C-alpha cells in the first residue's frame, strides 16, 4: 500500500487536518507451528507486506472507519457495547476496547486503512491490522508513556479471543509488533523471552507459494486443535499432581505414553505433533547456529508431515505443493501458519529457485486451475509510525 494513496483517500473521506500514518506487518514463521499456545518456541519474522492506516482523533465519541480494500465503511460509538458487525471493523473496535481496558483513554477517531498482506494466506493479515491500531491508538491517545509493546501484543490477541472467536496464541501479534528488518525472532512463548536472530542463509532463498485456498481460523477447527492439546495437558497434570503442567510444554514423551489410555486417540495424535514440533524447533536452533540449512530444511519437511498427518491442518493443495517442492529438490518446505489453506514456506537453493517456481506454478495451475501466487520473503520492520 502506498502511503500517498492512503492519505488521498483519507482527505477525500474525512476533509480537514491530515491524520498520522501507521504501519504494521504480516509475518512468516520458519518453524514452531501451533507451539505458541502450547507454551513452546516459535521462529517468526515480520515481512515487508502489511497494513497501513491513517488515524486522526476527531474530538467526538464516534469512530468512523473506511477499509479501502473492502470498500466498506462503518461508524460506531467508542462505548458501544456491541460494536460493528463486519469483521474488518471488529478488529479495530476490539483493539480500541482492549486498549481502554489497559488504561489508554481512546476517544473518537477517523481512519482509513488498507493492506498488501494477502488475506487468508496464513501471513497474519489480522494481526497486522490489530497491531497497526494497537500501536497507532496508543500513540495518539495514551497519556504519558502509554502501554508497552507486550501490552499491544496482548491487546491484539485478546481481540481475537473476545471479538473474533479465534483462540490464537501470541506469535502473530508478537511478530507484527516486535519485527526487525533482516532478523528472525526466537520467542519462548512460555517465559516471553526472545532474541533477534540474524537470518542470512547465504545461497538460499525463502519463498512462499500461496495456494489461494482461503483459510479462516475463527470458529474453525483451529480452536478444536487447541482444545485437544489442553485435554492432554490436563491429563498429564492429573498424572503428576506434584508438578505444574500448564501446557504441553511441560509434558514429555513418557507422559504422553502414560496418558494414551485416558485421552482420545485424536487428542493423542495432536499432542504427538506438538511434542515432535518442540524437538524440531530445538534441532533447527542448533542447525542455524552451525549454518546447516540442509538440516533446517529436513526439519521443515518433518513439520509438514506432522501438520498434515497428525495435526490434520493441511489440505490436498498444500500437500501437492509440498510434493512438488520435494520433487524439485527444494531444501525445506511446509505449511506455514495455522493451516487449512494459505501458503507453503520453502527454503530453496538459489540455483533451484527459477526451476522450482516455474514448476510449482505450472503444475498447480494444471491440476487446480488456479494460479498460485509466489511471494519472495523479505524480513521487514514491526509496528511503527510513518508520518
**Residues making contact with ligand GLA (CB under 6 A):** 33-34, 36-37, 124, 168-169, 171-172, 337-338
Whichever of 128 and 212 has its CB closer to ligand GLA, that residue is: 128
Active site residue 267: no
> Shortest CA distance to 304 belongs to which of 23, 25, 34, 8?
34
Task: In angstroms, give the least distance from the CB of 33 to ligand GLA.
Answer: 4
180 vs 379: CA distance, rounded Å: 7
Task: In angstroms, give the least distance from the CB of 168 to ligand GLA.
Answer: 3
185 vs 197: CA distance, rounded Å: 6
Task: In angstroms, give the least distance from the CB of 178 to ligand GLA.
Answer: 14
> Shortest CA distance to 101 belongs to which of 55, 58, 147, 161?
147
| DSSP code of residue 234 | H
Task: In angstroms, give the least distance from the CB of 162 to ligand GLA.
Answer: 14
Whichever of 169 and 297 has its CB closer to ligand GLA, that residue is: 169
Tell me how crowded residue 61 is: count the other CB atoms within 10 A of its CB: 13
Which own/partner contact pairs does 308-313 have at CB distance under 8 Å and 24+ positions apart? 308/335, 310/269, 310/270, 310/272, 310/273, 310/276, 311/34, 311/225, 311/269, 311/270, 311/273, 311/274, 311/339, 312/269, 313/34, 313/221, 313/222, 313/225, 313/338, 313/339, 313/340
Whichever of 223 and 260 has its CB closer to ligand GLA, that residue is: 223
Whichever of 100 and 223 has its CB closer to ligand GLA, that residue is: 223
> Shortest CA distance to 209 belongs to which of 28, 43, 383, 385?
28
Task: In angstroms, give the least distance from the CB of 169 to ligand GLA.
Answer: 3
Whichever of 220 and 260 has its CB closer to ligand GLA, that residue is: 220
Tell me if 168 sits within 8 A of 217, measured CB to CB: yes
The strands making up 343-349's β-sheet, listed across from edge to edge, are 332-335, 343-349, 204-210, 373-376
Instruction: State the catalytic residue, choosing from 172, 310, 319, 381.
Output: 172
Task: In angstroms, give the least distance from the CB of 375 to ligand GLA.
Answer: 16
Tell me if 196 sits within 8 A of 183, measured CB to CB: yes
Task: In angstroms, give the least distance from the CB of 225 to ligand GLA.
Answer: 9
160 vs 364: CA distance, rounded Å: 33
Whichever of 138 and 173 has its CB closer to ligand GLA, that residue is: 173
Tell me if 86 sits within 8 A of 307, measured CB to CB: no
Phi/psi region, residue 138 (left: phi>0; alpha: psi -120 to 50; beta: rest), is alpha
Q: Which residues participate in catalysis according to the annotation? A: 172
Amino acid at each position: 500500500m502506498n502511503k500517498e494513496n492512503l492519505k488521498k483517500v483519507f482527505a477525500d473521506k474525512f476533509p480537514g487536518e491530515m491524520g498520522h500514518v501507521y504501519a504494521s506487518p504480516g509475518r512468516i514463521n520458519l518453524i514452531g507451528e501451533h507451539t505458541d499456545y502450547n507454551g513452546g518456541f516459535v521462529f517468526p519474522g515480520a515481512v515487508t507486506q502489511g497494513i497501513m492506516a491513517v488515524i486522526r482523533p476527531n474530538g467526538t465519541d464516534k469512530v468512523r472507519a473506511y477499509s479501502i480494500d473492502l470498500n466498506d465503511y462503518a461508524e460506531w460509538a467508542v462505548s458501544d457495547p456491541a460494536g460493528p458487525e463486519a469483521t474488518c471493523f471488529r478488529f479495530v473496535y476490539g483493539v480500541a476496547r482492549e486498549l481502554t481496558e489497559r488504561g489508554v483513554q481512546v476517544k473518537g477517531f477517523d481512519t482509513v486503512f488498507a493492506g498488501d498482506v494477502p488475506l487468508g494466506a496464513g501471513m497474519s493479515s489480522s494481526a497486522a491490522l490489530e497491531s497497526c491500531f494497537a500501536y497507532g491508538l496508543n500513540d495518539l491517545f495514551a497519556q504519558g508513556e502509554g502501554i508497552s509493546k507486550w501490552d499491544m501484543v496482548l491487546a491484539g490477541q485478546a481481540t481475537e479471543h473476545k471479538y473474533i472467536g479465534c483462540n490464537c496464541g501470541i506469535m502473530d501479534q508478537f511478530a507484527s509488533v516486535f519485527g526487525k528488518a533482516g532478523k528472525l525472532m526466537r520467542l519462548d512463548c512460555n517465559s516471553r523471552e526472545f532474541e533477534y536472530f540474524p537470518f542470512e542463509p547465504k545461497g538460499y532463498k525463502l519463498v512462499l507459494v500461496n495456494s489461494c485456498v482461503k483459510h479462516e481460523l475463527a470458529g474453525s477447527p483451529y480452536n478444536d486443535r487447541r482444545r485437544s492439546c489442553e485435554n492432554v495437558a490436563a491429563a498429564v497434570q492429573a498424572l503428576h499432581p506434584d508438578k505444574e503442567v500448564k501446557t504441553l510444554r511441560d509434558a514429555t514423551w513418557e507422559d504422553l505414553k502414560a496418558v494414551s489410555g485416558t485421552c482420545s486417540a485424536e487428542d493423542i495424535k495432536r499432542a504427538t505433533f506438538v511434542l515432535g514440533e518442540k524437538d524440531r524447533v530445538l534441532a533447527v536452533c542448533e542447525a542455524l547456529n552451525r549454518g546447516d540449512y540442509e538440516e533446517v530444511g529436513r526439519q521443515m519437511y518433518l513439520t509438514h508431515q506432522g501438520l498434515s498427518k497428525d495435526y490434520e491442518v493441511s489440505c490436498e493443495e498444500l500437500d501437492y505443493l509440498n510434493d512438488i517442492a520435494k520433487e524439485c529438490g527444494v531444501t525445506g518446505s511446509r505449511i506455514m501458519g495455522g493451516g487449512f489453506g494459505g501458503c507453503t514456506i520453502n527454503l530453496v537453493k538459489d540455483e533451484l529457485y527459477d526451476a522450482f517456481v516455474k514448476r510449482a506454478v505450472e503444475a498447480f495451475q494444471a491440476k487446480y486451475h488456479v494460479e498460485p501466487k509466489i511471494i519472495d520473503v523479505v524480513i521487514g520492520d514491526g509496528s511503527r509510525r510513518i508520518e
